[in-house]
Structure 1
């Protein structure tokens, strides 16, 4: 890309078969998978494995591996943790691998990983850090992929995409795609993040199972610097670790 050509800022409101990503993708499942992944890293987890499904996650369980996920919003049988970011932040997982299996976020992450150069897990919780890293990594495009809910566009994820797009715009010149304009308009409609998140289908599903307290946690903007970044795979699971910027001079030990 010519240095004078602005990068693209793209928002896909739902994962769709055939979508391809040439550069950086921010995967968003704000209620709750991408928020919870950042919270586990904040709690000291060494890595997040995003598993393709519940049974695949169970196969990873070991003394230094814990498994987390949801089925109908609740902790699946045999799992150590559910998909609650409040629970994740307090979990004793320092130095451990956390294997996560969720419905919508897992699907979106695997779709992005099929083609992208860089895949980051983003939410309101780590919005500023994720936006800054995406801007730094991108050479031609930053894409924000919303997980949605049950195959439908989610108000919560669309709003979050708007917040991320707003931050990214502050950092460089971007050509805004149609989905980005929709996300930015949604962001401008709701000054208080708790409102769109509370109105979303995902939040209402949590209310039905008594986990509505997770919604205000997910509505916190830029509360964490932890950005899960895709590093590789093990079997069908995607390996995410917390991004650690290189220290100046770390590449050389001699003066």
Structure 2
């Protein structure tokens, strides 16, 4: 099984199999938290205006511009806020600067797209390995076109766990991510040194960084199940025992 890590999303990327999309600070962490809090589905749009088009009484809007909640949105992009938000049974439509765009890049060609973070790292890696037939790819969102230490570190955590679970052959990008992971003993240290963390500190949201640095605290894995218009529909993947019973 090939193991691949791409440090940034680009339009020419092609994925033949499974992609784990990572925007650990904060979109993919928040996405898992929203589904863990009971959201029925998570719709990811490419921009804010596309998200606003979904607004009605049954839909909540979540997202950020410059780290802050956009005007007219119900929620920002904070995983702490998401976990406590009244989202049970609701659809949450989400648009962020980096993460939701990376998901759209992956969804163009991949068979399966999952949202991964440190928060759901082990569950996401297990599901990826279960679904894959030839390759597991990890796509880092980065920050506004630049490689992010936080995402690359998270990719290393995922790559290391995938290696423990099965026979995977890391390509060069995966080896780089593994080296970054091994350079830091503490996830919070790695995340705190990233540009994304400094940007959150500048707007008073640095409390989201320790939350995002938690490893394997959630079993909620957002899995792409379809589309509506330009939005990607993610739902919480069923646990392995539920999938087996359904079969």
Q: TM-score, normalised by structure 1?
A: 0.95
Residue 195 of structure 1: how far off its partner (Å):
0.5
Residue 170 of structure 1: how far off its partner (Å):
1.0
Alignment partner of 1:250 is 2:241? no
Counterparts of 1:222 and 1:191, CA distance in 2: 16
Structure 2: gaps spanning 5 or more residues:
none
Residue 182 of structure 2: which of 158, 172, 188 is its match?
Answer: 188
> What is the match of residue 29 of structure 1?
23
> What is the match of residue 50 of structure 1?
44
Residue 74 of structure 2: which of 77, 80, 103 is its match?
Answer: 80
Report Cα offsets for 1:218-252 as digits up to 9, x if no partner. 0000000000000010000000000013354433x
Q: How does 1:49-128 map to 2 (within 5 A)?
A: 49-128=43-122
> What is the match of residue 4 of structure 1?
none
Report Cα offsets for 1:12-68 as digits up to 9, x if no partner. 011122110000000000000000000000110000000111011111111111000
Structure 1: gaps spanning 5 or more residues:
1-6
Counterparts of 2:244 and 2:222, CA distance in 1: 22
SS of structure 2 residue aligned to 1:179: helix
Residue 171 of structure 1: how far off its partner (Å):
1.2
Counterparts of 2:18 and 2:246, CA distance in 1: 25
> What is the match of residue 191 of structure 2?
197
> What is the match of residue 157 of structure 1?
151
Residue 205 of structure 2: which of 207, 211, 218 is its match?
Answer: 211
> What is the match of residue 11 of structure 1?
5
Which one has the largest radius of gyration? 1
Which 4+ runs in 1 deviate beyond 2 A?
A: 245-251
Counterparts of 2:48 and 2:10, CA distance in 1: 22
Counterparts of 2:59 and 2:245, CA distance in 1: 34
Counterparts of 1:196 and 1:169, CA distance in 2: 21
> What is the match of residue 240 of structure 1?
234
Alignment partner of 1:179 is 2:204? no
Alignment partner of 1:139 is 2:151? no
| CA 75–181 in structure 1, closer or farther in 2 if over 3 Å, else same | same
Counterparts of 2:42 and 2:109, CA distance in 1: 20
Q: TM-score, normalised by structure 2?
A: 0.98
Aligned length: 245
